[in-house]
Structure 1
Amino acid sequence: MKILRSERYAAFLLLGAAILGVILANTAWGPALQNAKDFPLDIPWLGLHLTAGDWVKDGLLAVFFFIAAIELRHELAHGELDSARKALVPTVAAVGGVIVPAIIFLIVVRDPALSVGWPIPTATDIAFALGALALVGRALPSRVRALLLALAVIDDLIAIIIIAAFFTSDLQPIPLLVAVPVVLLFGWLSGRARSAPIVALLIVLGITTWVLVHLSGIHATIAGVALGLIMAGKSAGKTRHALEPVSNGFILPVFAFAAAFVALPAVGIADLSPVFWAIVIALPVGKLIGITGGAVIATAIAGRGGPKGIPLGDIVAVAGLGGIGFTVSLLMNELAYAHDHEIAVQGTLAVLVASVIAAVIGVSLTAARSRHYRSGRAKA
């Protein structure tokens, strides 16, 4: 289990699963695996009509967002976001890292029918970004990891808001209203989870919340967010510790495999959609500019009374890693182009290409900063 808690190994698993998905999708096994992904796994008496792929995207990924919400709650209560002073730089940096990529996307993609994909390049993958930092940034001061973690957590919160606001169709208020007391009961009981029956009841309430949110028309991953944010602190910490290996070792790799499972389009470079180029540019470049600019502006606004200044080199390294969209960007792509398979395929490939470019940029910048700190210590 220890190895599955390692940020480095989690990043390797994630990347390996995505590469395997692309490879297998373009072999003779591709059609059979695609049929398996599209196989219906309905539960009619609950009103659930989902394929195996839908269960991965809507079901398993809800657990990932549940863990992310627990981490966000911890940061808000006890971590790098527990005061306005601490939260200023990562918050403004995260907002900049959303706005600039979105603007770049909309500049490149002029077709209103395709512009719905603007949220795709706005996401940062926590697991991948922290894994890359752990791989080459061991000599960096702890404040760099804290900044990246806080930024990525806020970025996920923004992604959650975008999913709820822009990817909700045919809202059904009754299931949503019924979900509210279920979530509140979950939160109350989570502070009293001292026995197996209570834990079992919490699991039932969690599943019930997921079903109700799915039936409401809101993307079901929002259920995981609500449960993670309301869960009592002590129980939340234990739950996150228990689920982290499952998320790193199974949930995220399975989602990465399923999302990256696309047959390469038989088109030339000149025939690729503007969506492809918008994502490839906006993720690595937009994030780098947006996060860096946001952090610099926030530091300037804070002035002497604000947070302790972070060297520009460290900010740029974090901004480079912030361009690794991957998991959440792949989810955004599936949601944005659910009814346009050809564009969805190009969007998936673009996210993979852009994330690799961002990883190369981020790792290079981080390695350079790490050498800088090691050199400074050697001279001292």
Structure 2
Amino acid sequence: MTLLRSDRFPAIVLLAAAALGLVVANTAAGTVVDDAMHVYLGIPGFFELSIEHWIKDGLLAVFFFVVAVELQFELTAGELNSARKAMQPAIAAAGGVVVPIAIFLAFSWGTDSANGWPIPTATDIAFALGVLAVFGKGLPSALRIFLLALAILDDIVGIVFIAVLFTNGVDIGMLALAAVGVVAFGILSRQLDGRGRVPIMIALIVVAVVTWALVYKSGVHATIAGVALGLAMAQQPALRTRHALEPWVNGVILPLFAFSAALVVIPSVSPSQLQPAFWGIVVALPVGKIIGISLFGWLSLRIGHDRTTAPALRFGDLLAAGALGGIGFTVSLLLSELAFSGEPLLRDEAILGVLTGSVISLVLAGILVSWRAWHHRRIAAATS
């Protein structure tokens, strides 16, 4: 379990799962696995989902719950608990959203691919911190804090996109009942430190499952239920729950999602025949993130900065952070599924674009993080 709580190992498992999915989809076993993903499970005539949707809408809600708990902590007691602390990573995150969108639309404007503009805005925090852990020995702690805040803010943007852009035909009644469920969950979680802990934990699980089902039935994407429950839960029980769930999220839920999302047949076409969605994502993730995060981050370090002191991060550090930000992966894969849910060809090419762009960013990040780590180690040795 300790291994699955580390920064390095989950990123390796996630990459291996995506690679396996891509390989399987392009072999004879691909059809069999794809058919299995469309087998329906649940209560017949009442609540049934395909295995693919149980992973994407059900298990991934647990991942978003964990993200929301971390977000709640950072906003109240962590690195984003004041406007001053949040300002610099917020400005950099804005650049890391706006520039990739602009690059993507430069490729896809006026085509069917244009609907995919939210896809290259995400940063995969597990991958980014994994690369930082592998190659970043000697980097200042300020860079990890900056990257963590940046990725969390990116997650907020992704959550907003999912909630606002990919919701159709909302059932207000179901949504209102779900809101009642969230409130009840929050109230119950604040009774956990008293007597009757086991019955309260059982009640919390039941309320969470019912709330998730109500959100799903309301027409809002079901992962938003995980976000709402994570934000509503009392902080200390939430942090304990996050700690308990983390190995399962890292070792089971995210690899399963990466495997299922990567079950894409590589099209037998020349590069010139690939859709603008593919090229827009491939360029927007590595290039857009590096330009947006490093440029806006550099500007943010000079807003209200005291000229008599050196900035905590140099421009080279921000370049490394920008490359790490280009590893979109989990949320970008989900956004690809949602943006092109009714267009299988565009969806598959967008997913291939996310995988390709993320791998390019991963390689660039490894190089830039190694360079900055070497630079900081050299400075530390010269001053010691």
Q: Is the 8 A contact 2:113 2:275 kept in 1?
A: no
Q: Which residue of 2 aligns with 1:17?
A: 17
Alpha-carbon distance between aligned partners in 1 of 2:207 and 2:145, rounded to the nearest angstrom: 33
Q: SS where residue 49 of structure 2 aligns?
A: coil
Q: Which residue of 1 aligns with 2:300?
A: 298
Question: CA offsets, 1:215-269, max 9 Å, x none?
Answer: 1111000000001111101101100100000000000000000000111111111
Amino acid paired to 1:355: S
Q: SS where residue 81 of structure 1 aligns?
A: coil
Q: Which residue of 2 aligns with 1:56?
A: 55
**What displacement does 1:303 show?**
2.7
User: In the alignment, is residue 270 of structure 1 matched against residue 295 of structure 2?
Assistant: no
Q: SS where residue 139 of structure 1 aligns?
A: coil
Alpha-carbon distance between aligned partners in 1 of 2:107 and 2:145, rounded to the nearest angstrom: 33
Please show how residues 166-245 of structure 1 align to structure 2 within 5 Å.
166-194=165-193, 195-245=197-247
Alpha-carbon distance between aligned partners in 1 of 2:84 and 2:45, rounded to the nearest angstrom: 50
Q: Is the 8 A contact 1:86 1:307 kept in 2?
A: no
Q: Which residue of 1 aligns with 2:285?
A: 283
Alpha-carbon distance between aligned partners in 1 of 2:149 and 2:37, rounded to the nearest angstrom: 35
Q: Which residue of 1 aligns with 2:29?
A: 29
Alignment identity in percent?
A: 50
**What displacement does 1:299 show?**
2.0
User: In the alignment, is residue 256 of structure 1 matched against residue 258 of structure 2?
Assistant: yes
Q: Is the 8 A contact 1:36 1:52 kept in 2?
A: yes
Q: How many residues align?
A: 379
Q: SS where residue 164 of structure 1 aligns?
A: helix
**What displacement does 1:373 show?**
1.2
Alpha-carbon distance between aligned partners in 1 of 2:192 and 2:119, rounded to the nearest angstrom: 38
CA separation of 1:307/1:236 partners in 2, compared to 1, >3 Å: closer, same or farther? farther
Structure 1 runs not aligned, ≥5 long: none
CA separation of 1:307/1:186 partners in 2, compared to 1, >3 Å: closer, same or farther? farther
Amino acid paired to 1:126: I
Q: Which residue of 2 aligns with 1:116?
A: 115
CA separation of 1:334/1:262 partners in 2, compared to 1, >3 Å: closer, same or farther? same
Alpha-carbon distance between aligned partners in 2 of 1:307 and 1:313, rounded to the nearest angstrom: 14
Alpha-carbon distance between aligned partners in 2 of 1:292 and 1:77, rounded to the nearest angstrom: 27
Alpha-carbon distance between aligned partners in 2 of 1:72 and 1:373, rounded to the nearest angstrom: 29
**What displacement does 1:112 show?**
4.5
Q: SS where residue 266 of structure 2 aligns?
A: coil
Q: Is the 8 A contact 1:299 1:307 kept in 2?
A: no
Q: Which residue of 2 aligns with 1:154?
A: 153
Q: TM-score scaled to structure 2, two decimals?
A: 0.96
Q: Is the 8 A contact 1:125 1:328 kept in 2?
A: yes
Question: CA offsets, 1:180-216, max 9 Å, x none?
Answer: 1210111111111241110011011111111111111
Q: Which residue of 1 aligns with 2:5?
A: 5
**What displacement does 1:42 show?**
4.2
Question: CA offsets, 1:291-345, max 9 Å, x none?
Answer: 1122122222233399954221111111110000001000000001111111111
Amino acid paired to 1:29: A
Structure 2 runs not aligned, ≥5 long: none
**What displacement does 1:158 show?**
0.6
Alpha-carbon distance between aligned partners in 2 of 1:43 and 1:114, rounded to the nearest angstrom: 37
Q: Which residue of 2 aligns with 1:363?
A: 366
Q: Please, what is the CA RMSD of the aligned residues? A: 1.5
Q: Is the 8 A contact 1:69 1:228 kept in 2?
A: yes
Q: Is the 8 A contact 1:67 1:244 kept in 2?
A: yes
**What displacement does 1:363 show?**
1.2
Alpha-carbon distance between aligned partners in 2 of 1:190 and 1:202, rounded to the nearest angstrom: 7
Question: CA offsets, 1:71-110, max 9 Å, x none?
Answer: 0011111111011111001111111111111111111102
Q: SS where residue 302 of structure 1 aligns?
A: coil
**What displacement does 1:139 show?**
1.0
